[in-house]
Amino acid sequence: MLQQIFIVFKQVLTLFLMIGVGFLLGRKKKIKESSQPDIIFIMTRVALPCAIIRSMSLDATPEFLRSIGFATLIIVVVTIASAVISLFLFRSYPQEQRSVLQMGTVYSNSAFMGIALVQAVLGDEAIIYATLIMIVETIFMLIHCEITMSQGGKPNLKKAFLTPGVIGFAVGLVLMLTHIALPGPIASTINTMGGMNTPLAMILVGLQIAKVDLRTVFNQRNLYIVAAVKLVILPAVMLVALRPLGLAAIAYSAIVICKGTTQPAVLSVYAADHKQDGVLGAQLVALTTILQIVTLPILAAITQVVVG
């Protein structure tokens, strides 16, 4: 058990050292805040879709397709259940804080942390399951956002389905099902560009943390409550509840690990756009990102031990 934790810890530590690089670049003003949207564009529009397509270069066996379908069903059920339960939490807080804290207990940073982490711990094959979580949560997060932040507004589902990650998944699925082999130079380009996803994602997380005054993060009790639910309680419940369902080992591990990652950084953006407490969202992401240094290696190691 301790050896497994140490192995996973080294893999996760590599990711957090990359975050440290981004943090230092941000604090030293070596990458201007005005330049960060360009990095996000390259990561989300180029590197992420390529990483997803690369991960789907697999044989579409009936067993594998059943695994994907079953995993998708589990992810949908877990996401809906978590979202419904969250509506009963933090009822005593002001609306602009309550909505941020509620959503912060449900959604994961699958696009940035999740894909990078399961790739490091489980290999390229696990990326497809992290991508499924990203797609499902993106759709439900838009709906949940409108319910809790706009009080009944109409969610933009077209926007959710046309994200680069979803498009990359669709392209990869077509290639997998049709057994189309891309020409060597194109496949090599996709593989190389996909390799940029993890470093860019971690550097961006570090840049985002660098913008937050950490002195305001560590003295807020409500943030620790959300962090405990998101990083410890919810993953622990799924660790136990999902095991008897017969998920493939890699799917089970990927789902549990992804659900134990921090909130998506876009949470603070959604909050600000809907006149909610965007600063609180950024503080929450910063705190949980730091606490993950301890929780994620342990969670990933326990998951690996459970699946044998």
Q: Where are the domains of the chain?
A: 2-307
Closest CA to 35 of 168, 203, 165: 203
Cβ(47)–Cβ(196) below 8 Å: yes
Closest CA to 196 of 61, 299, 52, 16: 52
CATH code assigned to 2-307: 1.20.1530.20
**pTM of structure:** 0.80
Per-residue pLDDT of the chain (308 residues; tens, 9 = 90+): 666 667 777 777 787 788 889 989 998 988 887 887 888 788 878 888 888 888 777 777 788 888 888 999 999 999 999 888 888 888 888 888 888 888 889 998 887 778 888 888 888 888 889 888 888 888 788 777 777 776 555 556 666 667 777 788 888 888 888 888 888 899 999 989 988 888 887 888 788 778 777 777 888 888 899 999 999 999 999 999 999 998 889 999 999 999 998 888 777 767 776 777 777 888 888 888 888 878 888 888 888 888 86
Integer Cα distance of 15 and 112 in angstroms: 11
